[in-house]
Amino acid sequence: MRMRPTLSWTPSEDPPPSTTDLRPVVDALAAGRVLVLSGAGISTESGIPDYRGEGGSLSRHTPMLYQDFTDSAHARRRYWARSHLGWRAFGRARPNAGHRAVAAFGRHAMLSGMITQNVDGLHQAAGSEGVVELHGGLDRVVCLGCGVLIARRELARRLEEANPAFAPVAAGMNPDGDADLTDDQVADFHVVPCALCGGVLKPDVVFFGEAVSRHRVEQCRDLVQAADSLLVLGSSLTVMSGLRFVRQAAQAGKPVLIINRDVTRGDRYAVTRVDLPLGAALTTVADRLGVSVDDDEAAVGA
């Protein structure tokens, strides 16, 4: 029997109280060696919806599952049609104040590392370096046959040529870059194969139901071990791929700090959860630390 991945989580006990006090975050960054773990909530101010927050995409759609993608040509056509349209808008998204603040913290040697659950590349666009993309990145595509990696822009060009009249109106966009379309809207979409071997192309991201590579998990575990504290930004920590690092940090006695508007699955391990909008909160933290996060400075590190 096929097991469905965890898409939601309900607290089994009353969560610890949240706060609006940013002093613990300021103190942790001032001390240095902070490992950042970011989730979809940091990109909402760039126009990319999250999965589980207020108005999150899971309230209206089920994301593509790995086995559905690999088992069904129909599922792949549906995914690539939606993703091709969504990519046009997704690719225009720009870093917001939260991304720029994180990049500034890195340039001022306050961070020991950076892990993101996001696939949008906005941390790198803001100037963050050494970002570990836990779930991969939408800017590249992998062939499931021969393993070749190609740039997403190259696939977009091929899909445009194969579908010159494809211009449906979408109901919305999702965190993984696909747009909300009906089955009728995607019925005539033509999927292109790998140009080298004719194999199935897949975005180089971890779908729901797909495991993060062992190498990447160990890389992140090493980052947790090397850090003095862990700062979680905009993640509900519903899935184990991110929660495991929160648990690791807490078990090692390293302070876990969370900035997120909603209750998270990691609250019980945290010394504090700050309930504030991320862009404003991180800008305030930067101001208190005397760190500039303006666009010009961020561009220098890009």
21 token code pair: 């006090």
44 marked among binding-site residues: yes
177 marked among binding-site residues: no
174 marked among binding-site residues: no
18 marked among binding-site residues: no
198 marked among binding-site residues: no
Say how far apart CA 170 and CA 65 lie, in whole Å.
Answer: 21
Contact 216, 111 (CB under 8 A): no
Q: What is the DSSP letter of 261?
A: S
48 marked among binding-site residues: yes
What are the two backbone dihedrals, phi and then psi, of residue 171, each rounded to the nearest 5 degrees? Answer: -80, -20
Q: Between the CA of residue 95 and those of 13, 102, 157, 298, what are the distances in Å?
A: 36, 11, 24, 10
Residue holding tokens 């991304």? 99
Tell which residue, 143, 138, 130, has the closest CA to residue 206: 138
278 marked among binding-site residues: yes
Q: Between the CA of residue 88 and those of 45, 175, 179, 277, what are the distances in Å?
A: 18, 14, 10, 27
Contact 170, 86 (CB under 8 A): yes
51 marked among binding-site residues: yes
120 marked among binding-site residues: yes
218 marked among binding-site residues: no
Helix, strand or coil, per DSSP, at residue 198: coil
116 marked among binding-site residues: no
71 marked among binding-site residues: no
Contact 208, 66 (CB under 8 A): yes
38 marked among binding-site residues: no
Quick check: is 135 catalytic?
yes
Contact 264, 40 (CB under 8 A): no
143 marked among binding-site residues: yes
Say how far apart CA 237 and CA 264 lie, in whole Å.
Answer: 6
Q: Catalytic residue among 74, 135, 190, 215, which? A: 135
Q: Enumerate the known binding-site residues.
A: 39-59, 117-120, 143, 146, 194, 197, 234-236, 278
**Active centre residues (catalytic):** 135
Q: Enumerate the known binding-site residues for NAD(+).
A: 39-59, 117-120, 234-236, 278
Q: Enumerate the known binding-site residues for Zn(2+).
A: 143, 146, 194, 197
